[in-house]
Amino acid sequence: MSGNYSGPLERVDAVRWRIPKSYRDGMRVDGLIYADDVLIEAIKNDQAPEQVANVACLPGIVKYSLAMPDIHWGYGFCIGGVAATDPEEGGVISPGGVGYDINCGVRLLRSNLTQQEVQPRLESLVNKLFATVPCGVGKGGVVKFRKPELLKLMEMGSRYVVERDFGWASDIEATEANGCIENARADYVSDTAIERGSDQCGTLGSGNHFLEVQVVDQIDHPAAAKAMGLELGQVTIMIHSGSRGLGYQVCDDALRQLRDTPKKYGIDLPDRQLVCAPVHSHEGQRYLGAMRAAANFAWSNRQIMTQLTRQAFADVFGQPAERLGMHLIYDVAHNIAKMESYEVEGRQKMLCVHRKGATRAYPAGHPELPDRYKNIGQPVLVPGDMGRFSYVLVGQPDAMVHTFGSCCHGAGRRMSRSAAIRAARGRSIHRELLDRGVYARARGRQGLDEEQPDAYKNVIEVVNVLHQAGISQRVARLRPIGVIKG
């Protein structure tokens, strides 16, 4: 949404800015935005801070309405928004705090290959990936599921497809929540959503979704990098996608079903896009059940693409993926709501944590982490743009205190898609990427134009804010050399 934010922003420290709850009637908590001096000026250029204030009005919200440094305008919640509500205090669940692309997320694979080994075959590799991993608007995949299979998949998550040879057993423990949220209710997912998802599990989609071949070009935390199997010059693969048309439909259905729910429960909202229901209500539980089913679909989607990626590498390099060392480092969701335990005013409470364009960032020792990451913390994956870098970080203890175990999810847009397309007129983004050493394939020119590097904030600045805040710690920087997009 256009228009500058003109409300209050009180400086808390070098990387935090407060919107006091006195700003507007109805705010139950302060808003808190993570940004440095440069980023906060960009953040003021749209109405995303206003959305932070709006979210602070939700019933049962705890501590703060938070925004990560990649904040920009979204539906209901800003993208980069985090909010936790207490179900025992009337806390609500809001589809706008999850987003349309439920469990859009990122996973990172390592390999034994070096850039020196991959570079001579890079064009062939990207073309093979483009041919193997379906991408583009509405694009269906090679794997199709009948309705009974989809219902099982949405309740079992990625384990369902791994058991059908789309992956390795080790992939499951390297996935947030082991690739499955409990209490998913596939029977709450509409037939329309199921039909839309029947041939889209194992497909990349369009928009900002991508598959990248990357090179580790900087190590900041050697011990954590070693635990993840990362080293300088090594080739990695990052996959960014979500729940495709199925998740979109689940969100669309919920927004329609919940239209009159706030009035029923006497909830006054500053923005109808924040439509919500008490977590413990029938309506709230129905949305949560369907949302969890869509999240499990998304993990299955990325899991199938993982195996397709392994096949493409094996074909190009003439060796099985096992010998190429193509192990999953981690998979994190960044559009989701989950029940998680946090300390609130000296008591452990189970909260409903909304992450809308934000990533979980648990610290070392957290019981949900796999054994190999217990000593370093959860890997946090932060993609940048096609022409610069992505980052691997690890969660830090302060995340549990200040951000409900959350971190940023990317660089964050600074240009709308239409503005990016206008800015690309008369230019060849494909050629500009080649000049940066990146070979890219997309279904159409528009896919590259709207996702050009200039459309995004500098991920280095975004990551540095949360590193400085003690929310996450930099581990490694990844530079793209090959990209496929829808």
End-to-end CA distance of the chain: 25
3-state secondary structure the chain: CCCCCCCCCEEEECCEEEECHHHCCCCCCEEEEECCHHHHHHHCCCCHHHHHHHHCCCCCECCEEEEEEEEECCCCCCEEEEEEECHHHCCEECHHHCCCCCCCEEEEECCCCEHHHHHHHHHHHHHHHHHHCCCCCCCCCCCCCCHHHHHHHHHHCHHHHHCCCCCCHHHHHCEHHHHCCCCCCHHHCCHHHHHHHCCCCCCCCCCCCEEEEEEEEEECCHHHHHHHCCCCCEEEEEEEECCHHHHHHHHHHHHHHCCCHHHHCCCCCCCHHHCCEECCCHHHHHHHHHHHHHHHHHHHHHHHHHHHHHHHHHHHHCCCCCCCCCCEEEEEECEEEEEEEEEECCEEEEEEEEEECEEECCCCCCCCCCHHHCCCCCEEEECCCCCCCEEEEEECHHHHHHCCCEEECCCCECCCHHHHHHHCCCCCHHHHHHHCCCEEEECCHHHHHHCCHHHECCHHHHHHHHHHHCCEEEEEEEEEEEEEEC
Question: 198 to each of 94, 147, 151, 154, how far by Cα in Å?
Answer: 26, 7, 10, 12
Please identify which of the residues 282, 409, 430, 467 carries the catalytic annotation. 409
Chain-centre distance for alpha carbon 462: 15
**What distance in Å separates the CA atoms of residue 340 and residue 87, rounded to the nearest whole number?**
11
Active site residue 221: no
**What distance in Å separates the CA atoms of residue 97 and residue 273, rounded to the nearest whole number?**
10
**What distance in Å separates the CA atoms of residue 30 and residue 48, rounded to the nearest whole number?**
15
Would you name the residues annotated as active-site residues?
409
